Amino acid sequence: MSLGLLLFASLMLVVVTAAATRLFSRWQWSKMARNGLAPRSLTQDQQFHLIASACTDDGLVVQDLTGKVLWVNPAYCRIMGWEAHEMLGRNPLEYCLPKDRQMTAQDIAAFRFDAADPTWNQLALHQNVKKSGELFWNQINVSFHVAPDGTTFVILVCRDVTEEVENAERLREKTAELAHVATHDGLTGAGNRAKLTSFVTEALARARDTGTQVGLLQIDLDKFKEINDTHGHATGDAVLKTIADRVTRTLRGTDLLARIGGDEFVAVCQDVADISQLQKLGATICEVARKPFTFGSQEISPSISLGAVISETNTETLDELLRKADFALYEVKRSGRGSVAIYDERLHRRLRRKERRSDELLRAVRENELTFHFQPTILAADGEVRGFEALVRWDHPKEGMLLPAQFLPLAHDLGLMVDIDLQAMNAAMVLRSKLIAAGWENMRTGFNASSALFTDGEIHPEFINMPARLGLSTDNIVVELPESVLFGEHIFPEQRVSIVHQLHALGFSIVLDDFGAGFAGLMHLVQLEIDGFKNARGLMENLLTEPACQRTLQVVIELAKDIGLLCISVGVESEEQFQVIREIGGDIAQGHWIAQPMAADSVIGWLEARKTGDGAFCDIHPQLPPPRPIAI
């Protein structure tokens, strides 16, 4: 038997399958024979082997050790787009490589297969080119066959796997896209909180191993709400994206920028030498961020504030670093914004004091240690007491009696306002019960309700439950709503209407507190179902020195009378202020000159002491002169 026939027989033993032999009829075999693919001198077994090689979808190639093609099957011709006679005697390196990877004639001539090299036995993937110029992915398996005469032949099994490779690439891209979405902010492209957590955890672990430090910058856009309110949310989004892009370009490739809130970002810097390096970077970011840019027809000049902290121990966590950086950021905001503050020993001591105060306040609220004093409101015309407002106090074990301004901001940060509001509501209603029992049925009691008692326009259930539990009607209970509750940043018009409507439907009297200090306008007084309002305290402070304040207050009082509302003048600290309130027709007054806030147990005694023998109220001060005309 010739060497060629031996080679064919050996090759067919690799690819033969029983099913393939049943697919060919006699006329198919005759056609192959006429084409020179099945010599009639072959045995039946050899013919079946050859038939199998012709029907397989895999390309089969026989080469010598120099790479010269000795034989190909029809599938290989289909894969490459060449006729068999165009490839016989040539090295595939001459026609299968794309233009950018073609080899020189000298390199091709020097090519050799090495049967002893184990890398040839590995499945390989190559990008090849068809005769038409079309690129495709070719999966190639190489094996070596030694003929009886000792000649080594190379057998290649080739398969066009372009579709599989492209599908795998699309899957990889989609997986990467989903992974990016899961770890990055959709608007700015910065990392999200999940990305920040994993990045900082790894950075801190690496810093512990290498003895380096991690720097963290808490970034907050200055007056971002004003940008949204003035220019619109599209402009606000443009500012966020611009700031994110500028900060990212300022950071190193090993650093990370993450967006953790509406206008809050955190930059994490690895391998920081010292705090001065971080402070310099923060100053650069501030400078880069404040450069004006144009969005649409508007020129925007953004500004940011930064709090910076550097890791110093092996036990610090992301939460600890964020808390310190946030405290430094608060220092910047307190002192004017637009710069960077470093968390240092001074701030460390202040943070520790704040943390101790936080623990104390938490305990005081949870154990009902806060107390409530009550300040009366009176009719300006004759001094008759109209009601009492519950004012929270904290009798600190070391610092004595603390006023609301000394601890309510901290309570807000700690999420304690719901508890404090409910305690104020309870104190006001309990006093109302005592007043009824003592014969003061028409005396009103009120309390301040913060935004914590209203979620998405829904009132807290205790507005319904508490009066029922205490057996009270709501008609003489006053709910004071600060302007920030109804006209704050995160409340919509339909929500504020819903809040007032629900309280009104339950029978509460509703007073808008600090009217004129924020966003509420005169039209709001008409549109909302309220009973009255308290003027902004700034008006009273300048009442005696600024004629415009007197005129403004008089106009507000007259307007209130015209639309059937009460105007409560608060902050009355002197007889002169009270005299002006009476002269311009004020309805109700409240302030320290009238009466200091008093403990609940003192209220009824105070009321009794003010009564005359005939049951009428005394004037507030015996020497108070009658109202006199005043020109404003």
Q: Cα(326)–Cα(404) distance, rounded to whole angstroms?
A: 23
Under 8 Å between Cβ of 60 and 155:
yes
Strand, helix or coil for residue 222: coil
Please count the residues of the chain: 632
Question: Six-digit token pair at 199?
Answer: 């990045």
Q: Cα(35)–Cα(22) distance, rounded to whole angstroms?
A: 21
| DSSP label of 18 | H
Angle at 64 between CA 108 and CA 37, to 5 degrees: 120
Q: Cα(606)–Cα(583) distance, rounded to whole angstroms?
A: 27
Those residues whose C-beta lies under 8 Å from the C-beta of residue 141, and which sit 6 or more positions away, are 123, 124, 156, 157
Q: Cα(382)–Cα(619) distance, rounded to whole angstroms?
A: 6
Which of 160, 185, 222, 263 is catalytic? The answer is 263
Closest CA to 551 of 630, 617, 626, 487: 630
**How many helices (H) and strands (E) in the chain?**
24, 24
Verify whether residue 359 is a known catalytic residue.
no
Those residues whose C-beta lies under 8 Å from the C-beta of residue 31, and which sit 6 or more positions away, are none
**What's the 3-state SS for 234-300?**
HHHHHHHHHHHHHHHHHCCCCCEEEECCCCEEEEEECCCCCHHHHHHHHHHHHHHHCCCEEECCEEE
- Other beta carbons within 10 Å of 421: 21
Strand, helix or coil for residue 400: strand
The phi, psi pair for 345, rounded to 5°, reads -65, -40
Give the dihedral of Cα atoms 493, 495, 497, 500; nearest 10 deg. -140
Q: Cα(81)–Cα(131) distance, rounded to whole angstroms?
A: 5
Strand, helix or coil for residue 6: helix
The phi, psi pair for 7, rounded to 5°, reads -65, -45
Under 8 Å between Cβ of 589 and 572:
yes
Q: Cα(509)–Cα(493) distance, rounded to whole angstroms?
A: 20
**Residue numbers annotated as active site:** 263
